[in-house]
Amino acid sequence: MRRSIIAANWKLNASRSMVDTFMPAVDAQASASGNTDIVICPPYPYLDLVGQKVQASNLHIGGQTMSLEKEGAFTGEVSADMLRDVGCRYVILGHSEQRRYHADSDISIGTKMVTALRAGLTPIVCIGESLQQRKEDKAESTIMRQLGALLALGRWVDLSDLVIAYEPIWAIGTGETASPEQAQAMHAYIRAELTKSRAQLADTVRVLYGGSVNPDNAAKLFAQTDIDGGLIGGASLQADSFNQIITAV
Ligand code: PEP
């Protein structure tokens, strides 16, 4: 049985006062939802503050991305070991905004995934097609390419702890959500591709849905067989809506 995960991607949003009000409320909800892993991914400067406010054993912190490099002259970068050192259990990799604005590629993301796993972090690797690719009937081939790179680069590594987030780019921050049926179809496809590569991965790799999940649509999405939880952007910024999403899973 795969444990469900609800992960908050705060992107470039946070303040001390937001953390002060958000964390006690979400920590209490986490304690009441012991069968779900809850992950908060704030901007780097707030990781420590968020971490200090965690009491529930199923509430964790994670980075929003990380460097390919371990240390040295890489201004502005943060390594996997540093994330571990400040208490992170998770790291989001390959978010479409990182692919778009910071030139993350299938190869760099796969390499980061291996580095993260070796450092003891659980990577939440985002994959997803653009609207154009969906319209051109290239959604599955895009996913196959992105997943294929991960599986190829990770072939010598234990991937059982991997988390995949299926995030159709056209649904991120747009208010437009994939229907539960569309999302389930893609999640089933992802699971089938994982199984083809290594049979045991189908039962261990958790596949999250991301893209305009909110308290109104969460329950129907999470009721789908192959959806193991969600990666939440906008609706993770208020404790109230985030807690409702946790309850929905
Ligand atoms: C995201 O950016 O990972 C995301 C899912 O955002 P939103 O929920 O705002 O669409």
CA of 171 to the centre of ligand 1 (A): 8
Residues 67, 17: Cα–Cα separation, whole Å: 28
Question: Which pLDDT belongs to residue 176?
Answer: 86
Q: What is the mean pLDDT of the chain?
A: 96
Q: Mind listing the domains of the chain with CATH numbers?
A: 4-248 (3.20.20.70)
Percent of the chain exceeding pLDDT 90 equals: 94
Q: Name which residue sits closest to atom 6 of ligand 1, judged by CA.
A: 233
Q: What is the mean pLDDT of residues 69-87?
A: 97
Question: Which pLDDT belongs to residue 200?
Answer: 87
The answer, yes or no, to whether residue 129 has pLDDT greater than 90, is yes
Does the CB atom of residue 176 touch ligand 1 within 6 A?
A: no
Question: Which pLDDT belongs to residue 123?
Answer: 98
Does the CB atom of residue 213 touch ligand 1 within 6 A?
A: yes
Q: 0.75 exceeded by the pTM?
A: yes
Three-state helix/strand/coil letters over 30-78: HHHCCCEEEEEECCHHHHHHHHHCCCCCCEEEEECCCCCCCCCCCCCCC
